[in-house]
Structure 1
């Protein structure tokens, strides 16, 4: 299935049904009076967060979604049928934006969450509503309210506990394949990863989710390479795992390049907790490894972990460091239990 994380669609709710002008006509009833029924309500356009979806590919082949119109009122005080809703099923983590692609309308973060994006029109009153002591035979009824229509953007931001960032060929996909059942494409050329990948990691009996995004290069915030489009998928992460290629020319400069791009992107990514790891340690001589660790330590202002995704050297330590930050963030996010009042 092709990964699609953004879609532009047109939605339209259902118009309300028109009220009915009708009079009671029965044998032996000389003055039956008005009995026109009301129109039915038009259907809403609703976005619903469901389980089992991880892409917006369904909205690649259909871009117009319209709810049903309400039924018209009928005689004998019969109300028209309500129009059925149009339900847009979206994966967890979907954001809904207005046509300007900046105004946030809804953020769907858990399964079962629903939000009305376009409200259906109310049905019109039949002539039964307009009878009075001075107007015993009203010959007019209300039309139904018109439908709402708008163009919206759907944008998917994957929900993961940890996010992998780094330059192209830093070993992010190799690491993800080594610690989870995910099978990302791995090759020896830059930008092998073209779409975000998710993997479930288990360490010491605890599980968490890691998101791998395509690599960043200098100028990504201006569109260089694949740009920073996919950084939205790590906005919701509790911690970033910053992988630095130990075989690069200067580990400190590589680290600073990615950090500058995170800062230029904004949205609080540069302020997230970070675990810095020097990768591909198995390909370095002891002197080179010591030098690269020192460079990275000066740039990151913290001691980096040393790891190799191929030989699994240092992988458990990196996972435990991630899990510690994730557990701390989860505890901070949980609401404190209210103090119970003492009673004799």
Structure 2
């Protein structure tokens, strides 16, 4: 009997066949409940919002058979211990900034952003299509984790200062919350770098334990209240031109997942990434206007400070690459990709953006 005749006899059309197939597929998928710990407080609806969206989409894509319960910074482990929790199996997943773990190996910085690195589009293009993900996951393997793209903040601001910073000498002796390679660069210029999680920054600024701090940009920074204790707001954040946020998964748990579940996680991460960039593009302009109206003083880093930072960055790169082959390998890959990308960007993107910035439509 032909298949078409069989369907007629049994009364099953295409819709009926699909109805039968869906439960069968669902029943073949295991029921899993994972835990995710993030580096962010729930008060930040951009970073934490991306986590919530991602876990929601995974559940929806798997008919709730794969559920990931998300925990904010401090609920399971402190925000700067996400990697450790995923690595040792305390949780199956994490959502974090890879450069927080710079102290373990400077190569971790490339999973987020490096000083004078690429903008958000070039950074994630390198990760997705330029070999970045493979290089990083090869490195992460020795820490028993793997990664996927799960967010981006866009170019960040250059930090909040209790006093004006006009010259390179003004940086000397400043205690600043700044992490990763940027902290090492700033150290060359006399800054004393401090690494603090989001919730610890405001109290440190208020008490004078630190003199300056960088976080993300106007939308998040206003929520954390930095403008109340440090009136001078600097730009650009040359150490975070387009920082990626990654989902980290325990490697053993990842390898045991059905391919469908892996795909669901990766697609949910991509959705969170797109949503987060749109959320910042929506929120930052209005937040900056509000901050300025409230008395925040906006400053650009002087050309002399920018050049001194660039010089120090190149020194840090050379010193680190000389003793760390993983760092050298990833740096060469990123620089090669970025160089080609900016040659193109200055043709169309930069020209158009510069024109539009000079000629607003309203």
TM range (shorter): under 0.3
**Hey, which of these two has a bigger chunk of strand by percent?**
1
TM-score, with structure 1 as normaliser? 0.24
The structure number with the bigger radius of gyration is 1
**Hey, which of these two has a bigger chunk of helix by percent?**
2
TM-score, with structure 2 as normaliser? 0.23
